Structure 1
């Protein structure tokens, strides 16, 4: 079976997406490129759009795409408590008809805090995936502690593996893949280059082949999300190029 390919709207650049008229405006590009799904970013939605998520859901479906929903919030607050906004975020994802909600981990401290997830997620039609972000909470050790809690408590939670975010927090992506791969259900495909003391995301054609070897360490059936920059005069052609590439490698 060919891999499901998702295009993250932010890959076109937040300012560019906004200038085009919002995330709905890039749906024809994503669909024409042959992708299977779209990742909608909450931070790119206006208040009006947040109040009309079923309209966006209908537009996504009209382009024969499925949706996933990314919220720039953590599962656990800085004090270790479960984020009280989670039920509302899950409801937003449901209104979007999204297959899953993606959040970062945050300050996970104990299984006691995670226990509250059981009833909440069992009652939700939307799955939850947790991503390694570019904060200290996105390092390997916290992600492994959470992975262990998921296993012990049998939580219906899986991981989004962002291939390049490990570099931002000084971790080895390959080591992270060797430890976390069994729980990974979604892959953010991203390559990065170091510029002075910082990293910047780059298109795969401009990257070293390290990204491909890393991708092969991860579950072969996990959907692959394009989160690296998609730029050029013909965005449909550029997107199609990478959709085809990631479907076959």
Structure 2
């Protein structure tokens, strides 16, 4: 079965997305590049856009693309409670006909909150994928603990493995792959390079380390392009990396 390649709209840059008129404007680019789907970012939607998700879903389907939905929110709040916005976010993902809703983990500490999570997910057709973000809650230890709890409670939740985010936190992406790979349902593909006093996302085909890391992750899960896609011919640039990720 051919591996699915998803293009994250933010890969084109927030300013470029705005100048083009919004995320719908890059759908023809993503489709022409031969990708299978698009990851819509909630932070790039205006409040008016949130109210117009069904037409966006129609546009995505018109381009024969699958949809994923990412919201810049955590599953758990600072006090360990389940995010009160989760039902609304699941509804938004459903309106978009999304394959999943992607969130970060947040402060996971109350396993009794998983009972409420099971109830919410049972009422929604949209599953969750939880990403290792660049906060302390995205470190390997809390992600491992959450994955173990998901298994114990048989929840329809998998992980988004963001290759580059481990570097931001000073952790080993290779070790993370060894420990988390069985629970991974989506891979955010990006390298990381030093930038001033921190890091920034970079293309992953310049260093064999990243190809080796990809090989260590499940080969049958979708891969999302989150590294910068830049240039005068965005279709050609996107097509190059779509093909690279299918073959790598």
Question: Given the two structures, how large is their TM-score scaled by the length of structure 1?
Answer: 0.98
Contact 1:73-1:103 within 8 A present in 2 as well? yes
Equivalences for residues 136-155 of structure 1 within 5 A: 136-155=136-155
**Farther-moved stretch of structure 1 (26-35 vs 115-124):** 115-124
Contact 1:41-1:71 within 8 A present in 2 as well? yes
| Secondary structure of the corresponding residue to residue 232 of structure 1 | coil
Contact 2:132-2:138 within 8 A present in 1 as well? yes
Q: Measure how far apart 1:200 and its partner are.
A: 1.0
1:216 paired residue number: 215
* Aligned-partner Cα distance in 2 for 1:41–1:200: 19
Q: Measure how far apart 1:30 and its partner are.
A: 0.1
Equivalences for residues 105-124 of structure 1 within 5 A: 105-124=105-124
* Aligned-partner Cα distance in 2 for 1:151–1:110: 15
* Aligned-partner Cα distance in 2 for 1:199–1:210: 17
Post-superposition CA distance 1:217-248 (Å, at most 9, x none): 11010100000000001000000000000011
* Aligned-partner Cα distance in 1 for 2:60–2:179: 35
| Secondary structure of the corresponding residue to residue 116 of structure 1 | helix
| Secondary structure of the corresponding residue to residue 179 of structure 2 | helix
* Aligned-partner Cα distance in 2 for 1:196–1:104: 25
RMSD: 0.8
Question: Given the two structures, how large is their TM-score scaled by the length of structure 2?
Answer: 0.98
Q: Any gaps of 5 or more consecutive residues in structure 1?
A: none
| Secondary structure of the corresponding residue to residue 34 of structure 1 | coil
Contact 1:2-1:248 within 8 A present in 2 as well? no
Aligned residues: 248
Post-superposition CA distance 1:104-142 (Å, at most 9, x none): 000000211222111110111111100000000000000
1:60 paired residue number: 60
Post-superposition CA distance 1:136-162 (Å, at most 9, x none): 000000001101100111111100000
Contact 2:81-2:110 within 8 A present in 1 as well? no
